[in-house]
């Protein structure tokens, strides 16, 4: 299943006992449609509270006589308006949405002006930004690095090394998009990266200081974490021959 959602009202993707989540809403609808609790539903990865998805991928393992199209229609009929299943198809019995993914792409959306329409989907930055400095900062992140300064994961509990395939910046009028693509991401890694890219754009951090953060452990990036409103899970890739969708703004701000 490919799922889109606006994460503003939810405490992230993953189901939790005492919080409203995207996965929890879908599971509730599935229980009604399938008339059973005997199923497994798992996404390609977690998104934090307030983070959105253009194309989250999930797998459902269940016994049903319903066709994928009918199953999708019935579940969507029960979902709130800010969650929508875009596509449903039969998968190989061994397919796993998380384990079989080879890369994930995120988009972070920044507005250089106050907007009446896109507040939930952008980070509005009042300061004048040096776009050339930001573009250069993006390039510093590309490649294989230890991102222990750019996560709130415990580096002693799990590996913090990530191979970042791409970190690119695009502009559309007052809108700035930062696209990052890699095999996996650490907790809050993208938002802390974006926060530091913006600090470079503000000229409060130099490229050399940014490089130093990739070689030593520091809590400084956590103090500059970008808000969740501008972050979107853009694409999950399962086949190297697959061409990722184009990068474009989710809300066009003129």
Give 205-232 pLDDT, tens digit per residue: 999 999 999 988 899 999 999 999 999 9
Confidence at residue 223, expressed as pLDDT on a 0 to 100 scale = 93
Alpha-carbon distance of 53 to 137, in angstroms, equals 25
| Predicted pLDDT of residue 243 | 82
Q: What does the pLDDT read at residue 155? A: 61
**Annotated active-site residue in 38, 48, 154, 239:** 48
130 flagged as catalytic: no
Q: What is the pTM of this model?
A: 0.93
Query: What CATH code is carried by the domain that includes residue 113?
Result: 3.30.70.660
Cα gap 69→66, rounded to integer Å: 8
Residues 110 and 169 in one domain: yes
> In sequence order, what DSSP letters do the residues of 38-105 get, joined into one string?
--EEEESS---TT-EEEEEEEEEE---SS-HHHHHHHHHHHS-TTEEEEE-----TT--TTTT--EEE
Residue 252 lies in a domain: no
Query: Are residues 9 and 118 located together in one domain of the fold?
Result: no
Indicate whether 27 and 138 sit together in one domain.
no
Q: H or E element: which one contains 109?
A: strand 103-111
Question: Can you give the residue range of the structural domain that contains 82?
Answer: 2-87
Please give the share of the chain, as a percent, with pLDDT higher than 90. Answer: 86
């Amino acid at each position: 299943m490919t799922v889109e959602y606006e994460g503003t009202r939810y405490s992230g993707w993953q189901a939790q006992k005492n919080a409203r989540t995207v996965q929890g809403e879908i599971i509730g609808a599935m229980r009604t449609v399938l008339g059973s609790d005997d199923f497994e539903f798992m996404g390609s990865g977690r998104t934090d509270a307030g983070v959105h998805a253009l194309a989250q991928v999930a797998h459902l393992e269940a016994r049903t006589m319903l066709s994928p199209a009918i199953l999708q229609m019935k579940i969507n009929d029960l979902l709130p308006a800010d969650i929508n299943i875009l596509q449903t198809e039969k998968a190989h019995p061994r397919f796993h949405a998380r384990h079989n993914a080879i890369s994930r792409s995120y988009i972070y959306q920044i507005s250089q002006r106050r907007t009446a329409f896109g507040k939930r989907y952008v980070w509005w930055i009042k300061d004048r930004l040096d776009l050339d400095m930001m573009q250069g900062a993006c390039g510093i992140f590309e490649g294989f690095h230890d991102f222990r300064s750019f996560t709130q994961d415990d580096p002693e509990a799990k590996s913090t090394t990530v191979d970042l395939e791409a970190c690119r910046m695009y502009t559309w009028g007052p809108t700035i998009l930062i696209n990052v693509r890699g095999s996996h991401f650490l907790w809050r890694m993208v938002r802390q990266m974006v926060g530091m890219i913006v600090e470079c754009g503000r000229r409060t951090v130099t490229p050399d200081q940014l490089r130093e953060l990739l070689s030593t452990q520091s809590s400084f990036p956590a103090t500059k974490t970008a808000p969740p409103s501008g972050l979107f899970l853009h694409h999950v890739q399962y086949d190297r021959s697959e061409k990722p969708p184009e990068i474009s703004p989710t809300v066009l701000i003129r």
